[in-house]
Structure 1
Amino acid sequence: MAATVSHNPKSILAAERQTLRFGLTPVFLSNDLQILAALRSYLAASTGHEVELVTRRTYQEVTSLLISGQLDAAWICGYPFIQYRSDLDLVAIPEWNGRPLYQSYLIVTRERQGETIRDLRGDVHAFSDPDSNSGYLVTRTLMHEEGLDPETFFRKTLFTYGHRNVIRAVAANLAQSGSVDGYVWEVMRDLEPELVGRTRILRKSEWLGFPPIATSARRAGTPVIRALAKALLDMTRSDQGRKVLDMLRLSGFGAPQDHLFDGIAAKVALLRGGLVSIGARLNRLPLTWRVPLAVTLLMIAVSVIITERVLDRLGSMQEAYLQRAATSYLDGVTASISPSVLREDAWEIFDALERLHPVNTDILPAETIVTTPVDVVLAATNPASHPSLEPIFGGLRDRFSGTTIRVDPMRGLAYLKRDIVYQDQAIGRIYTVFDAAPLLRERREVLVTLVLTNTVLTGLLSLTGFLTVRRMIRPMQVLESHMIEAADGHPRRIDAADTFGTSAETRRLYAAFNSLLQSDDERRALSRKLAEEEKLASLGRLSSVMAHEINNPLGGLLTAVDTLRAHGEKPDVRNASLDLLQRGLEGIAGVVHAALATYRPERHSRPIARSDFEDAKVLLMPELRRRGQHLDCQIALPDGMSCACPSGPIRQATINLLLNASAATPDGGVVGMTVALERGRLVVEVRDQGGGLPRHARRILVGEPDGSLPTGSGLGLWIVRQIADEIGAAIEIADREPVGSAVRISLLANADKGIDHAA
């Protein structure tokens, strides 16, 4: 069933409904075309859908496509799964060595001393991806637990966007330590033992949930996801599925188990104080939403503060007003009933309370009770509830506090008491309960007004912020879309129509971007031109010695022709002359054929074969003879054998390395070349007897790829690196004893592109 590998987001949007769009990233899974082709073929056959494998460089890119619905499913890491747990749903979990678990390894160079992370202070440390659990989160959490400052502990940190690249960086001593996926390290130890052998494990983490296959929550349970889940779970039941599992070095796929990722969730909570999900989602919101959201939150905070202060001030004013009104009422009551209290005349007291009850005021006493100094009731406005000569109800007495009024919002009442004093002696006590409902109702009305006003203002300001920011960042969105297209390999200049109505600063920014694209086009053109010139220069250097090799037999050939003219009738002379002519012409033809095969334009015309390396040897021999050097050549490939590796790039890389080795080796020295098949990989090793590769040369071959041309020397090695990156080959460098260096190029012998377990 047809399937494609896509790197273009537009192709994702244009995919038909029946196409299963499956996301991958080389941070974890290999970019090996053989593995991808086998996985795609199996999924297509097992699900009954066309399969489109969508590769992106980072976990963030793949996760964003998955959440936005541009992918049906993806092979992601446990860290982004925890970050977006509410937006994602598990489909299946890979099993390694029979378990859905793996570990994070902290690795260092093989000779490095130390046993704990504290011994790595001051290192250059390699992480794989900022959204990788094993390649970032585990180490950062460990540093947090140890009380180490991530900003100052390591001298420098770098992201390689591939676990294999972390291993390469540590093995080449570009980084002194690294955080790597234990599964990838163990697999690489079998595939590339020499590379992994230059590292050692400093620390292993606890077992954590293996990077899962996930889908967006809204796609969970759809027919295509059910078909995908069944295909993954049934992988061990078919020969095709078992072949894919063998290539991935996995035992199979198991059913989803959310609890497997609780350990990762705990690390996330520890590292970010439990706010990682909210913080990560807020940080990933577009700026057009973040600014209005910030305005809204700020306005809500301001509204709460203002409302609280207004209500507090209003409450204080109301209580002061209530205190004055109540005090005035009690002053009148006290003056009127004092003589009656002295006589303990209940009727006179009751009659005075009835006459003094206010009617035209906002503050009305709901109940007034007059007692003796020991709280025995003399009279009350409600005798039925408080009979005379009975103690006052204890629960009511507890609602009064001191000489200040106390408001109870739940009951809508206010409580105030006062002692009746005659000649500096308390002769009685007045308990008064006031109706505070009007004041509390006024307070509620103010609260509602404030809330409604603040809500309207907050909404208007948020909308204004949204529209303003959207207009302000529109130019940045245009620039972002063009930069994403450029990063995907489809650069496009910003049209004049996009600059209409923009500010002068934006137009200058667009012009700078267009100039950058033009400069990049010119740089690429110059790179191609210089690479071609270097190839021709290499041919030129060989041509001078080739001319000598061709000229040497010409004298003998002309002599043989003269001999044939003079004595051609003699059989023995004729046969001897013809043999001489044949050998001489075959020698010339061999040199010319080797040169043409190496420098013809087509790069992927046919698979590599033993004869290609024989041609490289023929081309180099004249230069070696000129300098008195010897070639130690071992080609451990059967005659007539060929593999799927492209011949053109490998031939040119081999020639460049041989020329570089010859230039580094002293006159009379030995240049070595070994070609062999090791563990299913084609390995080409070129050796010299020079003083070792300079630092800049090593950086060109195994440093971080940046695509820039080297200044001064090193163009030939730069071409070798470009070829290796193009065909997915690995480059390794080793020092030889007592002198010299060895450069190894290796790639899968049965694929168009070599493995990159870079996870």
Structure 2
Amino acid sequence: MIRLPMILLIILITVLASGCSNSRSDYQIVFSERDVTPANAQDGTPSPVRVAISSVLPPSETVMHYRTIADYVGEKLNRPVILIQRKSYNEISKLMMNGGADIALLSSGAYLTSNRVEGIEPIAMQERMGVPYYYGYLVVNRDSNMTDISDLKGKSVAITDPSSYSSYIFMSERLAEIGETPEHFFGSQLYTYNHENSLKAVINRVVDVAAVNSLVCEQAKLKNPELADSLQIIAKSEPIGTGPVVISSSLPDEDKKIIKETFLSMHEQGTIQPALQSLFIDRFVPFDPLLYDTAYSKSSYKRGRL
């Protein structure tokens, strides 16, 4: 991966840090494998349910909202909860595959690369802004005079995650149509591991283009309507299902039933609604495999990655 010049990285760090709360979370987030309590309790107490999420050091209030959801699931199971955080989508997938978590909120791309792996069962998906799907966007500043993907040759790009459908996978598919790959087409690549950070990078001209989730882009426009005039979408993917909730197949059937029912009904609970709203989740809805039936999901590229 070609790295951005140091001055741009310094600017990016400054930009992305702005607006983030400096307060410390009261909730412990587990980062390393060795810190995760084993699934089998040794003293007869209920074993903790391990819930995994991926994001790079989210603001403390974001962690709090995920913690609210995780604690609610634990309450229904009558078990304590450990909230596990990993930097990348791929790390969360591996965690589930290796038995290091019981429940995970996967990205769509991470699900596409792991949905044929034994031991992982999808039970629900997120409905955001009224729909259970989204698009991948390639976004530039409108005054950049870039209007087509071919204009991006040699430019700098912000990519959320190598396993993100709306970022790396979608962009790779489009470039493959013209015989290119992201690694050879762009002058430099910056992995942000956060869609909001990718969008901020292009808005603040740290990079020329960002490959982002459409929901993040549209939510940003709702917060700041002026963005609608300053940004331009020059490529759009086919619709893809939102990030699913998956569980370990090794869980008892009764636990699986409780977890599924809990996610599908939690939007009806007044105490949980603020957490969902703050995460821009309307509710969790039944999993629909057809929304993940993309060209990528059938490709030899995917089979090769597995």
- Asked if these proteins are the same fold (TM beyond 0.5), I'd say yes
Change in Cα spacing, 1:112 to 1:275, as seen in structure 2 (3 Å) is closer
Report Cα offsets for 1:483-510 as digits up to 9, x if no partner: xxxxxxxxxxxxxxxxxxxxxxxxxxxx
Partner of 1:132: 164
C-alpha deviation, 1:29, in angstroms: 7.8
The counterpart of 1:254, out of the listed 282, 285, 288, is: 285
Q: Distance in 1 between matches of 2:36 and 2:278?
A: 27
Q: Distance in 2 between matches of 1:145 and 1:28?
A: 35
Amino acid of the structure 2 residue aligned with 1:10? R
Change in Cα spacing, 1:215 to 1:48, as seen in structure 2 (3 Å) is same
Name the SS of the counterpart of 2:144 in structure 1. coil
Partner of 1:23: 52
The number of residue pairs the alignment matches comes to 273
C-alpha deviation, 1:45, in angstroms: 3.4
Greater Cα radius of gyration, structure 1 or 2: 1
C-alpha deviation, 1:252, in angstroms: 0.8
TM-score (norm 2): 0.80
Name the SS of the counterpart of 2:49 in structure 1. strand
Q: Distance in 1 between matches of 2:184 and 2:174?
A: 15
Identify unmatched segments of 5+ residues in structure 2: 1-25
Taking the TM superposition and a 5 Å limit, the aligned residue runs for 1:31-46 are 32-46=62-76
Question: What RMSD in Å do the two structures reach over aligned CA positions?
Answer: 2.6
Change in Cα spacing, 1:136 to 1:256, as seen in structure 2 (3 Å) is same
| Maintained 8 Å contact 2:66/2:275 | no
Name the SS of the counterpart of 1:111 in structure 2. helix
Change in Cα spacing, 1:35 to 1:102, as seen in structure 2 (3 Å) is same
Amino acid of the structure 2 residue aligned with 1:26? S
C-alpha deviation, 1:197, in angstroms: 6.9
Q: Distance in 1 between matches of 2:38 and 2:234?
A: 47
Change in Cα spacing, 1:137 to 1:275, as seen in structure 2 (3 Å) is closer
Q: Distance in 2 between matches of 1:98 and 1:193?
A: 19
The counterpart of 2:272, out of the listed 241, 253, 265, is: 241
Name the SS of the counterpart of 1:5 in structure 2. coil
Q: Distance in 2 between matches of 1:11 and 1:75?
A: 20
C-alpha deviation, 1:201, in angstroms: 2.4
Partner of 1:58: 88
C-alpha deviation, 1:163, in angstroms: 0.7
Change in Cα spacing, 1:197 to 1:9, as seen in structure 2 (3 Å) is farther
| Maintained 8 Å contact 2:172/2:181 | no
Q: Distance in 2 between matches of 1:149 and 1:275?
A: 13
| Maintained 8 Å contact 1:127/1:159 | yes
State yes or no: 1:89 paired with 2:121.
Answer: yes
Q: Distance in 1 between matches of 2:156 and 2:167?
A: 15
| Maintained 8 Å contact 1:135/1:180 | yes
Taking the TM superposition and a 5 Å limit, the aligned residue runs for 1:512-531 are none
The counterpart of 1:49, out of the listed 52, 75, 79, is: 79
C-alpha deviation, 1:75, in angstroms: 0.7
Q: Distance in 1 between matches of 2:228 and 2:248?
A: 36
C-alpha deviation, 1:30, in angstroms: 6.7
Name the SS of the counterpart of 2:115 in structure 1. coil
Change in Cα spacing, 1:13 to 1:49, as seen in structure 2 (3 Å) is closer
Identical positions, percent: 25
Taking the TM superposition and a 5 Å limit, the aligned residue runs for 1:492-641 are none
Q: Which one scores higher on RCO, CA 8 angstroms, separation ≥ 6?
A: 2
C-alpha deviation, 1:203, in angstroms: 2.6
Amino acid of the structure 2 residue aligned with 1:57? K
Partner of 2:305: 280
Report Cα offsets for 1:213-243 as digits up to 9, x if no partner: 1123444x63333222111100122112322
Partner of 1:267: 296
Partner of 1:291: none
State yes or no: 1:172 paired with 2:204.
Answer: yes
| Maintained 8 Å contact 1:23/1:56 | yes
Identify unmatched segments of 5+ residues in structure 1: 282-759
